[in-house]
Amino acid sequence: MKLENPAALKKLKDALTKDPRVRVSVQSEREFYIDQQKLMSGIINGVGWALAIMMGIAALFAALNTLYNAVQQRVREIATLRALGFGGFPVMFSVLIEALILGAVGGLIGGALAWLFLNGMTSSTMNWASFSAMTFAFTVTPGLMMTGIIYGLILTFIAGILPGIRAARQPITSGLREL
């Protein structure tokens, strides 16, 4: 039913719940639709996180491959640095910094593409419980973009550890032979 103002809902709820002849649940239209969308929202969030984890694992392997190739291509430079007196930790640290730069750039590009192509996009689904359509709007917020960038940084940091260790343990003599 349509009420004159939001305060009238409390009066109606009090009147109906005190009457022992009537067993009803009184809620606003907004509360009704919030209850209706909880299940679908949970499913969408679950699928979204599952996709994010699967794509993150794929990105982890791609970054790992890229960083291993970067270390392999720089055998001479790494051996030269080690011959000049740089220890294994600075070499490993430089590989991790490169990984983090790649992660930040990738996160920024991914966030910008999501904002350009997905921000404001809407999708709807049928709610079979109430036979109403629920519409979901995709909104790319700055907080969401920061979450994506941080996720990319974490993945590339993890991917940079093994190639960094490999670069740090690489024998100086084998790298200098590449000259």
Instruction: Output the six-digit token pair for 6.
Output: 């939001």
User: What is the spatial distance between Cα 38 and Cα 49, in angstroms, rounded to a whole number?
Assistant: 16
* pLDDT per position as a tens digit, 64-123: 999 999 998 888 888 888 889 999 999 999 999 999 999 999 999 999 999 999 898 888
User: What is the spatial distance between Cα 81 and Cα 98, in angstroms, rounded to a whole number?
Assistant: 16
Residue 23 confidence (pLDDT): 81
* pLDDT per position as a tens digit, 6-52: 778 778 877 778 877 878 877 877 787 778 778 778 888 899 899 98
126: confidence class by pLDDT, cuts 50, 70, 90? confident
User: What is the spatial distance between Cα 90 and Cα 82, in angstroms, rounded to a whole number?
Assistant: 9
57: confidence class by pLDDT, cuts 50, 70, 90? very high
